[in-house]
Amino acid sequence: MAKTPEGIIQAYGMTELKKRGCLVRKIGYEGRRGCPDLIAFVPMRPANGVWPKEGDAGIWLPPITVFIEVKKDENTQPEEHQLREHERIRQHGGFVWVIGSKAQMDELIEELKL
């Protein structure tokens, strides 16, 4: 079981995202540093957060891929090599969030409208 502060937040995030239909994986690079901790494939979902009734079209948000860097608390910042990798990902259209608490994970879930 997750015993470190990062592990507790990471396990919580994986559980909560999976409950909402995301495919979530812990990731790492071979021969390279700076990889975010998690990748989440977020499915198409209703823009207002409410699933439409059968027959209603609704407005849908497209699926996206999200990288998540987990830290032990909200005050811990990523290291320089991690920040450089986050910037590379963003320059190529990726989304990166740095999360340091369950509350921040909940904010991410709310922002994604899951």
The verdict on residue 104 lying in a domain is yes
The verdict on residue 62 lying in a domain is no
The verdict on residue 45 lying in a domain is yes
Tokens matching residue 21: 């239909």
The CA distance from 68 to 13, in Å, is 9
The verdict on residue 42 lying in a domain is yes
The verdict on residue 31 lying in a domain is yes
The verdict on residue 21 lying in a domain is yes
How many folded domains does the chain comprise?
1
Quote the pLDDT of residue 59. 86
The verdict on residue 83 lying in a domain is yes
List, run by run, the mean pLDDT of 10-residue segments along the chain (114 residues).
Answer: 88 97 96 95 90 80 96 96 97 97 97 92
**Residue 67 parent element (H or E):** strand 64-70
Query: Residue 83: which CATH number?
Result: 3.40.1350.10
> Which residue's structure tokens are 């979902």?
45
pTM of the predicted model as reported, rounded to 2 decimal places: 0.90
Domain that holds residue 21: 5-56+68-111
The verdict on residue 80 lying in a domain is yes
Residue type, 6: E
Quote the pLDDT of residue 1. 52
The CA distance from 42 to 64, in Å, is 5
